[in-house]
Amino acid sequence: MKRYRQNGVMNKETEHLVLEHLRRIRDVLDVMQSDIQDLKTRMTAVEENVGQLFVMAAAANKRMDRIDERLGRIEKRLDLVEA
């Protein structure tokens, strides 16, 4: 402990080492913050695409329901089904 502190104060070498580690930590945090922002943007795009898929599926179901109704009416007109 004596080589790190002299009279309760860090020596210059130890202080420089600590500051260098803090700078590296800050650099890593900056990169992580940028990556997180990128992930948020990409996640928003994914959520928008999933929403569009639900809308498309609902539209397809609506079309199939109309086709089913029309087919039922055609079958009745042609007496292909029992009333």
pLDDT tens, position by position, 26-59: 999 999 999 999 999 999 999 999 999 999 999 9
Query: Is the CA virtual torsion 36, 40, 45, 51 positive or negative?
Result: positive
Residue 1: what pLDDT? 47
In angstroms, the CA 14 to CA 76 distance is 92
How far is 40 from 34, CA to CA, in rounded Å?
Answer: 10
Mean per-residue pLDDT for 68-79?
94
- Please check whether residue 53 lies inside any domain of the structure: yes
Q: What is the pLDDT of residue 26?
A: 98
Domain membership flag for residue 51: yes
Residues facing residue 9 across a β-bridge = 6
Per the structure, the count of domains in the chain is: 1
What is the span of the domain harbouring residue 36? 5-77
| pTM score, whole prediction | 0.61
Residue that is written with structure tokens 């029309």 in the block: 70
80's CB contacts (< 8 A; 6+ apart) are: 74
H/E run at residue 6: strand 5-6
